[in-house]
Every structure is written in structure tokens, then in C-alpha cells.
């Protein structure tokens, strides 16, 4: 097992775990912060991609459709997740968003008849039981927390769509970093009119606000996604899935320390059940290593 890839996996998970913290302390609205997250990352991603060799070929009509779908899916993922972070607890928003791996397997089962193992059904059952506990805990968090939990589940659906679309693009030969740059650009273009039409504050009040958005864009989006993409290419899939479950755990810890948002007993139990369910579901998916 390669030590650099292992370090990249955990560093990437840590960078992404900071995402809810940036969103919470940003002085712009959730849709606006989702826009800036990708818009400020676009120049950095294209600058790095420019130094890498790439095949000189035109995108086919199918690839262009898949790229547009990936941009739309990622825009939905970010918009709903940022709203979820603002409406419910960081723990719930992050844990529920990580249900995406289950939705990926369900989609493959329903659309392409890729039947999972029985272990997947056990994991799915556990994950749903954990979700029920998290929803129950939300009743005591805030009046809008249940809506935030719902946004978290929708986030997972959009991210599953994004992952499935990106997999098809990779199968067609798309380079990872250039794919990130293109989809990030498309996501920014989609989110801009949505953010402007939302009536939210679009511009931060000062330098500190811009630094928060740069952290969200450069550390979380470009850094975190880039490190994890590198790690997943060099580590066994089963091990990587366990490592990525570190992200909701770290996000919850950061929220506890930085936002004074501790876990209640019901949330702790629900979160533990969800994580076990996600792990078992991934192990039971067809083709899991």
C-alpha cells in the first residue's frame, strides 16, 4: 500500500471535512457560497491542468452531454448541501450526504441490473435505521432541521448522479484533472444565475469573508477533491471507502470544537449506525474489493 496515496486520502478527507465550517462562517448565503466555492477554484484548476499533457481530440456529442449532466448534478449537490449545512447540524448534513454511495449502488441495480450482494441490503437497512435516529435527533435541534435533513438526502442523490456520470466520462478516456476543471466551470455557470436569483448576499463584507471563500474553494474543493482523486487511483477501493468515512467523523469533530455544536446521544448512535451501514453497503456492492 503506497504511503503517499494513504497520506493523500486522509489529507483530502480532512480538507473536505472543513467544508461545513467554511459554509457556516461565510457571510454570504448558502447558494452564493456554493457558487464561490467553484468559481474561485476554476482559475486554479485550469492553471494546473494547463501544465499536464493531454490528448488533442474533440469531445464527442455523448461526452458533451455527459459533461453537461455532471455540471448540473454537481451544482445540485453543492446547492442542496450548503442549504442543509445551514438548516440542520453539521453532523446530520455530512452523514446524510454520505449516503451517496448507497444511491450509486441502487441506481446501478435499478438501471443496469448490477445486482449487489446480500450484504448491501443489510447495510442499506442499517443506514436507514441510522437516518431515522438522526431525523429524530433533529426535532430538538431547530424548527428547520428536518428540512435540512431532507436537503442532505437530496444532496446524496445529486452526488450519486455526479459520480455515475463522471465514471462514464472516465470510461470514455477523460483525464481526471481536466474533467474536474470542466465540470467545476460548468457548475459555476449553472449556480451563478441561481445565486443571483435567490436574493442572498453575494459578496462578502471584507477580507476575512473572502479568505473564508478562498479556503472553501482552494482547500476544500481543489485541494480536497484533488487529493482524494489521486488516492483513489492508487489504493484498493474497499480501503478507500473506509478512509473516506473519516470525513463525516472529522466534520463532526470540527463542528464540536469550532462551532460549539456537540453531539447528543441520539445523534451519536444514529451517526454510528449510518457509518456502519454505509460501510457494509459499499462492501456488498457488486465489484467491491
Residue 257 placed within a domain: yes
Q: What is the pLDDT of residue 120?
A: 74
Residue 233 placed within a domain: yes
How many CA atoms are closer than 13 Å to the CA of 76, on its beta-carbon side? 16
CA–CA separation, 191 vs 258, rounded Å? 28
pTM (2 d.p.): 0.86
Q: DSSP letter at 264?
A: P
Residue from 234, 195, 188, 160 nearest 45 by CA: 188
Q: What is the pLDDT of residue 194?
A: 95
pLDDT tens digits, 56-70 = 555 677 888 999 999
To the nearest 10°, the Cα dihedral for 36, 37, 39, 43? 130
DSSP alpha helix (H) spans, 51-144? 61-87, 90-97, 100-112, 118-138
CA–CA separation, 39 vs 19, rounded Å? 15
Residue 40 placed within a domain: yes
Range of the domain at 245: 3-284
278: its cell numbers: 454505509
Phi then psi for residue 257, to 5 deg, are -75, -45
Q: What is the pLDDT of residue 235?
A: 66
Phi then psi for residue 199, to 5 deg, are 80, 5
Residue 10 placed within a domain: yes
Residue 249 burial class via C-beta count within 10 angstroms: exposed 0-12, middle 13-18, buried 19 and up: middle
CA–CA separation, 16 vs 279, rounded Å? 19
CA–CA separation, 181 vs 17, rounded Å? 21
Q: Say if residues 155 and 81 touch (Cβ distance below 8 Å).
A: yes
CA–CA separation, 157 vs 160, rounded Å? 5
Specify the long-range contacts of residues 11-14, CB closer than 8 Å, at least 24 apart.
11/227, 12/223, 12/224, 12/225, 12/226, 12/227, 12/228, 12/230, 12/231, 13/224, 13/228, 13/243, 13/244, 13/246, 13/247, 13/250, 14/224, 14/246, 14/247, 14/250
Tally of CB atoms within 10 A around 190: 21
Q: What is the pLDDT of residue 242?
A: 59
How many domains does the chain fold into? Answer: 1
For helices 61-87 and 176-198, the axis angle rounded to 10 degrees is: 50
Residue 132 placed within a domain: yes
Tally of CB atoms within 10 A around 32: 25
Residue 49 placed within a domain: yes
Residue 21 placed within a domain: yes
For helices 90-97 and 61-87, the axis angle rounded to 10 degrees is: 150
Phi then psi for residue 241, to 5 deg, are -65, -35
Q: What is the pLDDT of residue 59?
A: 65
Q: What is the largest CA-CA distance in the chain?
A: 56
Q: What is the pLDDT of residue 184?
A: 94
pLDDT tens digits, 72-81 = 999 999 999 9
Q: DSSP letter at 216?
A: I
> Cα–Cα–Cα angle for 200, 205, 206, nearest 5°?
150
Q: What is the pLDDT of residue 105?
A: 76
Mean pLDDT by 10 residues, the chain (289 residues): 76 89 94 96 90 62 89 95 92 86 78 74 79 74 79 92 85 80 95 94 93 95 83 63 74 89 81 80 59
CA–CA separation, 152 vs 19, rounded Å? 14
Q: What SS3 class is residue 108? A: helix
Q: What is the pLDDT of residue 137?
A: 74
Residue 289 placed within a domain: no
Amino acid at each position: 500500500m503506497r504511503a503517499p496515496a494513504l497520506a493523500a486520502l486522509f489529507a483530502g478527507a480532512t480538507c473536505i471535512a472543513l467544508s461545513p465550517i467554511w459554509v457556516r462562517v461565510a457571510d454570504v448565503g448558502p447558494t452564493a457560497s456554493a457558487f464561490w466555492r467553484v468559481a474561485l477554484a476554476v482559475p486554479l484548476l485550469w492553471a494546473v491542468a494547463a501544465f499536464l499533457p493531454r490528448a488533442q481530440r474533440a469531445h464527442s456529442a455523448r461526452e458533451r452531454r455527459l459533461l453537461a449532466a455532471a455540471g448540473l448534478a454537481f451544482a445540485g449537490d453543492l446547492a442542496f448541501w450548503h442549504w442543509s449545512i445551514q438548516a440542520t447540524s453539521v453532523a446530520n448534513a455530512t452523514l446524510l450526504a454520505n449516503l451517496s454511495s448507497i444511491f450509486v449502488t441502487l441506481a446501478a441495480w435499478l438501471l443496469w441490473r448490477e445486482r449487489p450482494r446480500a450484504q448491501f441490503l443489510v447495510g442499506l437497512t442499517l443506514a436507514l435505521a441510522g437516518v431515522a435516529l438522526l431525523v429524530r435527533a433533529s426535532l430538538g435541534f431547530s424548527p428547520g432541521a428536518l428540512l435540512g435533513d431532507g436537503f442532505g438526502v437530496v444532496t446524496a442523490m445529486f452526488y450519486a448522479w455526479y459520480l455515475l456520470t463522471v465514471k462514464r466520462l472516465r470510461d470514455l478516456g477523460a483525464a481526471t484533472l481536466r474533467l474536474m476543471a470542466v465540470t467545476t466551470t460548468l457548475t459555476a455557470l449553472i449556480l451563478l444565475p441561481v445565486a443571483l436569483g435567490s436574493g442572498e448576499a453575494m459578496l462578502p463584507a471584507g477580507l476575512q469573508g473572502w479568505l473564508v471563500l478562498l479556503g472553501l474553494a482552494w482547500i476544500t474543493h481543489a485541494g480536497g477533491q484533488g487529493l482524494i482523486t489521486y488516492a483513489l487511483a492508487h489504493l484498493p477501493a474497499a480501503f478507500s471507502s473506509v478512509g473516506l468515512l473519516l470525513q463525516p467523523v472529522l466534520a463532526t469533530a470540527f463542528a464540536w470544537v469550532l462551532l460549539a455544536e456537540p453531539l447528543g446521544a441520539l445523534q451519536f448512535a444514529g451517526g454510528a449506525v449510518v457509518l456502519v451501514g454505509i460501510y457494509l453497503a459499499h462492501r456488498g456492492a457488486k465489484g467491491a474489493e
